[in-house]
Amino acid sequence: MTKPVWDTMQRNPQTSFQDMILALHDFWSAHGCLILQPYDMRMGAGTFHTATTLRALGPEPWNAAFVQPCRRPTDGRYGENPNRLQHYYQYQVILKPSPADIQDLYLESLKVIGIDPLKHDIRFVEDDWESPTLGAWGLGWEVWCDGMEVTQFTYFQQMGGFDCKPVAGELTYGLERLAMYIQGVDNVYDLNFNGQGVSYGEVFLENEKQMSKWNFEVAETDALFDLFNKAEAECQNALNADVPIAAYEQAVEASHIFNLLQARGVISVQERASYMARVRDLARGSCEKYAQTMAPQWQAKYPEWSL
Amino acid sequence: MSDFLLELRCEEIPARMQAGARAELEKLFRREMDAAGVGVDDVTVWSTPRRLALIARGLPDATKAVSEEAKGPPVGAPDQAVDGFCRKNGVSRDDLEVRDVKGRETYFAVKNIPGRATSDLLAEAIPAIIRDFSWPKSMRWGEASLSTESLRWVRPLSGIVALLGDEVVACEVHGVTSGAVTLGHRFHHSGDITIGNADDYAMKLRAGHVIVDHEERQNLIREGAARVASEAGLSLVEDEGLVIENAGLTEWPVPLLGRFDEDFLDVPPEVIQLTARVNQKYFVCESKDGKLANAFICTANIEAEDGGAAIVDGNRKVLAARLSDARFFWELDQKTPLREHAKKLERITFHEKLGSVADKVERVAKLAAWLTSDARAPNGDHNAARQAAELSKSDLVTEMVGEFPELQGLMGGYYAEKEGLPQDVANAIRDHYKPVGQDDEVPTAPITVAVSLADKLDNLFSFFNIDILPTGSKDPFALRRAALGYLRLVQANKLELSLEQAAQAWGGLGQAKLGTRVAEFLSDRLAVQMREEGVRHDYIAASREWHGHTDARTDRIEARARALAEFLKTENGINLLAGYKRAANILKKEDWHGAEGEIARTGEEDPLALVDDPDMKAVIDAKMEERHNREIAYTPEPAEKALIDALDTAEPQAAKAIEAEDFEGAMSALASLRAPIDAFFEDVTVNDPDEDKRAARLDLLARFRAAVHNVADFSKIEG
């Protein structure tokens, strides 16, 4: 009897971008993580996913892994730069509380995708993380593989202005970089996407060209300013109605619109600070409201715990 | 006697914190042992990214028993007093001993404190050390962090080895228990390493691919990097900061040399070196001709199976990507002339009350042109100075300086050269931030000096004008550094520059007072600077006034203070100062003001404020004349006469020398007064019963004091 197809499948992370992702999914799934899907909004980093920000708050254990597409309009290079993209993937793992063997688990995950630590030089180099927008900071490292930063490794200490109790460990892998490294290619568009000859360029090059153009040249700035104001107002509206998750989404939206306005070059240096402060107020306000809303439930389960 | 080993193992400690952590560990260990009365001599402290270790040699096995006694009240004292004494000493009344003290029976409390085992003391000391350990930044982690009271450490603390002799010192800190087991290299060794005692610690770790002694690792890197460079026919560009940092990032350092594409050498060498050092922690090399070579040296933490080929190749790619970025910036920046870049400075705020950087540049340009033309300090082409100043900040908006702010100035200089601007203009743009540090070279090229001075003066004038001054340890706009830069430029170039005139050139005729305020600040900084050279600050204080006002020229203050310092080293100077103090004391005691004093009684705070007032001039001249020519109604004693004659000679000499700013000359004129004033005090009685004689002699002393004051304010000199 022939085996069913799913049983004959093998992961080839060394030659396939998608297999590298699937291998990471397998690994973290086996280590107790929920495998989530990307947040369905435009955002600048995986940290903005509610599975990271909001779940870092409160006493409850939380272990999750997911891919998050990230959009950084100002990093667009019209598909002409071999390393820079305005749209790319992060692989994010959040482990709360941070397990004692988190570094070992992480190094194990590198082996799974084909990085041999006796052949490649893996280093933990101090790099603390801070996001004033989220009222968050943590200590940790950037992990180097032969001098290249492949992961940001952070122990969250505060989120939304609150102490993390307990502390969560966050791992953010730069997927394209890692894949370029593992596959030995110098140009991101040359990555083998599926191990069967479809390249990253075939999937994303046209997207990079068009989106770079739109980000830098086309996007209607009056509409963007309008969207920013509307997101800000809607965030307030949601906060007033005690639905902080909805408010948080609007903060994420405002943050991305701000990034687009930056790419269009229509925000002066002076205005920039004021826009950043507005985004920060929205994000922090939403996190705070979320924590306050959830606090009674958390305290019911963890009587020793307080916000 | 036993040796003690303590190892605190944790996740990777930032390299920059390791030296401080070693010092902290030793300090806290000694504190604990001192408090417990354990003598500690030889302490060794080591660090790696993953552990801090301390070895203390020859600890006693136990502390000595001690007996402490305290004398109490006499027998028969009220119960209250005796009970109080017992309470204070923690003994009961039955324990008190009675002894005879000078014939009186007196209570004594005697406490015998038994010796304690050192291992018990250490078991208490270790948790205290960990609890009190101060890190620049620390964190919580893991399940225990459900409470904010959980242990803080630089990164999660994972193990404690504590051995006194061959025995484990048992203790527990927030769930981490001590033992004899540690771990080796993260990749080269698996499984536990059991340490026997302090003696086999380093050896066993070495077998586990860990070199625990940071200095040994530093040597390996220093020597290894030099070796791989010379094997490639190159010489290493030494960088001790990188040696220490790489030793702090590795437990088993292996320097490896790689090459990058030669084409990148088009980019300025400073950029390449900075990219390699800051972003990648690589050393760079020079070829035999002293030029930067297309090579880098990275320090791996493993002895790779393939000899490091894959590691070098990976690092090469990362560096290539970085250098591509740098070259991209380098080429992109050159597409826009500096003059065009300068326009973008309008959008950058210099300070909310002081406008944009473009506004600042305009002020600096105006001042630089004034310095070279009107003030001739320095003497130079004012058009070139203006041009250099106008372009001096343009590189702030270039991509390269955006990426590497420490290249400000340098990049502007390169871009100016590429644009074909005159070399002295390009040099001025490059060097106008200098001097920055204590050891930084001081510019001497006139155009550079003008732009550098104007830049620093603009900072000083601008912030003083809006009353933002350095206070205590706070100096957010680095005005003290600007002041020191100003002083060193003036000194190195022997400039004679009036800060009052400079302030007027900067902000209009009404700004002379601003110049005075800045001059006062600068002379304070001058005093600090000269104190480091051993010139006393009171000599500066004695030299700060010029014609009754704060001297607006720091060069003159300095010249006068130096002449004064030299003079006061001579025997004449020392004795003259003594004579001055004596005269001043007598005049003070007698409340005698002399001609100077009478002028002071015109009601002005500053006695000479009205000297230049035409209405007052005649009055003052008459007064001076009257004093000077007052007939002495008696025959002066020889020493008195000699002093009068000496003053008649010395006064005009000193005055002439001062006007010519010949302070040595002025001091030697004063020196001629030394013998006459000594003889005067020796032979003449000031407080003569004859009122006329007394008045005349006090006047003579006042005249002597005034003559000295005209050279320097000796009243400011201490001691």
How would you write B442-466 as a 3-class SS string?
CCCCHHHHHHHHHHHHHHHHHHHHC
Chain A nearest-CA distance from B424, in A, is 33
Q: What is the pTM of this model?
A: 0.79
Instruction: For chain A, say whether B14 makes contact (Cβ under 8 Å).
Output: yes
> Is B604's pLDDT higher than 60?
no
Model pLDDT for residues B497-524, shown as the tens digit of each residue: 999 999 999 999 999 999 999 999 999 9
pLDDT of residue A81: 85
Considering only residues 191 to 250 of chain A, which have any Cβ-Cβ distance to chain B shorter than 8 Å? none
Helices (H) and strands (E) in chain B, counts: 28, 20
Option in A98, A99, A120 nearest B311 (CB): A120
For A199, A210, A296, B413, the CA distances from B384, given in Å and listed in that order, are 56, 47, 71, 14
Whole-angstrom Cα distance, residue B684 to residue B635? Answer: 13
User: Which chain A residue's Cα is nearest to B355?
Assistant: A270
Whole-angstrom Cα distance, residue A159 to residue A133? Answer: 10
Instruction: Dig out the tokens for A250 from the structure.
Output: 């609007």
| Range B542-548, long-range pairs (CB < 8 A, 24+ positions) | B542/B712, B542/B713, B542/B714, B542/B715, B542/B716, B542/B717, B543/B712, B543/B713, B544/B520, B544/B713, B545/B713, B547/B608, B548/B606, B548/B607, B548/B608, B548/B609, B548/B611
Residue B30 in contact with residue B59, Cβ under 8 Å?
Answer: no
CATH architecture of B570-716: Orthogonal Bundle (1.10)
Chain B nearest-CA distance from A179, in A, is 13
Whole-angstrom Cα distance, residue B350 to residue B203? Answer: 58
Residue A169: how many CB atoms within 10 A of its CB?
Answer: 25
Instruction: For chain B, say whether A121 makes contact (Cβ under 8 Å).
Output: yes
Q: What is the DSSP string of A263-279?
A: HTT-S-HHHHHHHHHHH
Model pLDDT for residues B553-601, shown as the tens digit of each residue: 999 999 999 999 999 999 989 988 999 999 999 998 888 876 555 444 4
Report chain A's C-alpha Rg in angstroms.
20
Residue A205 in contact with residue A47, Cβ under 8 Å?
Answer: no
Instruction: For chain A, say whether B351 makes contact (Cβ under 8 Å).
Output: no
Give the residue among B428, B17, B535, B482 at the shortest CA–CA distance from B248: B17
Give the pLDDT band (50/70/90) at residue B617.
low
Residues 6+ apart with CB under 8 A from B215: none
pLDDT of residue B132: 96
For A21, A103, B160, B202, B277, the CA distances from B249, given in Å and listed in that order, are 30, 16, 21, 18, 14
Residue B39: how many CB atoms within 10 A of its CB?
Answer: 10
Most B CBs within 10 Å: which of A14, A78, A119, A268, as the mutation test of the B interface?
A: A119
Tell me the domain boundaries of chain B.
2-62+117-207, 67-113, 214-334, 350-551, 570-716
Residues forming beta bridges with residue B43, ordered by sequence position = B56
> Is B151's pLDDT higher than 90?
yes
> Helix, strand or coil for residue A185?
coil
pLDDT of residue B30: 96
pLDDT of residue B605: 43
Q: Give mean pLDDT, residues B638-662.
A: 92
- Please list, residue by residue across B223-248, b when 16 or more beta carbons sit within 10 angstroms of its beta carbon and e when fewer do: ebbbebbeebebebbebeebbbbbbb
pLDDT of residue B27: 97
Whole-angstrom Cα distance, residue A180 to residue A200? Answer: 11
Phi/psi of residue B595, each to 5°? -60, -45
Give the residue among A190, A91, A95 at the shortest CA–CA distance from A150: A91
Chain B positions touching A153 (Cβ under 8 A) are: none
For B54, B65, B122, the CA distances from B116, given in Å and listed in that order, are 22, 8, 11
Give the residue among B421, B390, B396, B420 at the shortest CA–CA distance from B410: B396
Whole-angstrom Cα distance, residue B183 to residue B32? Answer: 27
Instruction: Dig out the tokens for B283 from the structure.
Output: 């050393």
Give the residue among A218, A220, A193 at the shortest CA–CA distance from A204: A193
Give the pLDDT band (50/70/90) at residue B360.
very high
Per-residue pLDDT of chain A (307 residues; tens, 9 = 90+): 566 666 657 899 999 999 999 999 999 999 999 999 999 999 999 999 999 999 999 999 999 999 999 999 999 989 988 888 999 999 999 999 999 999 999 999 999 999 999 999 999 999 999 988 888 999 999 999 999 999 999 999 999 889 999 999 999 999 999 999 899 998 999 999 999 999 999 999 999 999 999 999 999 999 999 999 999 999 999 999 999 999 999 999 999 999 999 898 888 766 788 899 999 999 999 999 999 999 999 999 999 999 8
Whole-angstrom Cα distance, residue B117 to residue B467? Answer: 63
Whole-angstrom Cα distance, residue B358 to residue B393? Answer: 8
pLDDT of residue B600: 42
Give the residue among B338, B422, B345 at the shortest CA–CA distance from B385: B422
Option in B15, B146, B306 nearest A59 (CB): B146
Residues 6+ apart with CB under 8 A from A122: A107, A110, A115, A143, A144, A145, B186, B187, B301
> Is B627's pLDDT higher than 60?
no
Chain B nearest-CA distance from A235, in A, is 30
Whole-angstrom Cα distance, residue B494 to residue B503? Answer: 20
**Contact (CB<8Å) A126/B12:** yes
Q: Is the link from the previous residue into B268 a cis peptide, with omega within 30 of 0?
A: no
Give the residue among B142, B128, B108, B111 at the shortest CA–CA distance from B33: B128
Whole-angstrom Cα distance, residue B666 to residue B659? Answer: 9
**Contact (CB<8Å) B146/A305:** yes
Model pLDDT for residues B30-78, shown as the tens digit of each residue: 999 998 888 898 999 999 999 999 999 999 999 888 888 888 898 888 8
Whole-angstrom Cα distance, residue A30 to residue A11? Answer: 15
Whole-angstrom Cα distance, residue B63 to residue B32? Answer: 13
Yes or no: is domain B350-551 CATH 1.10.10?
no
Whole-angstrom Cα distance, residue B482 to residue A276? Answer: 33
pLDDT of residue B594: 67
Residue A107 in contact with residue A122, Cβ under 8 Å?
Answer: yes
**Contact (CB<8Å) B143/A166:** yes
Instruction: For chain A, say whether B548 makes contact (Cβ under 8 Å).
Output: no
Q: Which amino acid appears at position B503 of this protein?
A: A
B167-168 and B157-164 beta bridge pairing: antiparallel
Give the residue among A134, A59, A129, A142 at the shortest CA–CA distance from A96: A59
Tell me the percentage of chain B whose pLDDT exceeds 90: 72
A34-35 and A62-71 beta bridge pairing: parallel
Residue B33 in contact with residue B67, Cβ under 8 Å?
Answer: no
Chain B positions touching A157 (Cβ under 8 A) are: 139-140
Instruction: For chain A, say whether B188 makes contact (Cβ under 8 Å).
Output: yes
**Contact (CB<8Å) A139/B155:** yes
Q: Which of B137-141, B170-174, B610-614 comes out lowest in average pLDDT?
A: B610-614
Instruction: For chain B, say whether A120 makes contact (Cβ under 8 Å).
Output: yes
pLDDT of residue B233: 96
**Contact (CB<8Å) B314/A128:** no
Phi and psi based region of residue B688 (left: phi greater than 0; alpha: psi -120 to 50; beta: remaining):
beta
Give the pLDDT band (50/70/90) at residue B620.
low
Instruction: For chain B, say whether A3 makes contact (Cβ under 8 Å).
Output: no
User: Which chain A residue's Cα is nearest to B188?
Assistant: A118
pLDDT of residue A269: 65
Give the residue among B328, B313, B260 at the shortest CA–CA distance from A181: B313
Chain B nearest-CA distance from A40, in A, is 31
Residues 6+ apart with CB under 8 A from B649: B672
Residue A174 in contact with residue A90, Cβ under 8 Å?
Answer: yes
Chain B nearest-CA distance from A98, in A, is 5
Whole-angstrom Cα distance, residue B389 to residue B421? Answer: 13
pLDDT of residue B601: 40
Give the pLDDT band (50/70/90) at residue B551.
very high
Query: Higher model confidence: residue B633 or residue B520?
Result: B520
Residues 6+ apart with CB under 8 A from B524: none
Distance of CA B478 to the CA centre of its chain: 13
Give the residue among B331, B334, B332, B338 at the shortest CA–CA distance from B264: B331
pLDDT of residue B472: 83
Looking at B11-95, which runs of residues are DSSP E strands?
43-48, 51-59, 66-74
**Contact (CB<8Å) A128/B137:** yes
pLDDT of residue A6: 61
Residue A87 in contact with residue A204, Cβ under 8 Å?
Answer: yes
Angle at A198 between CA A192 and CA A200, to 5 degrees: 60
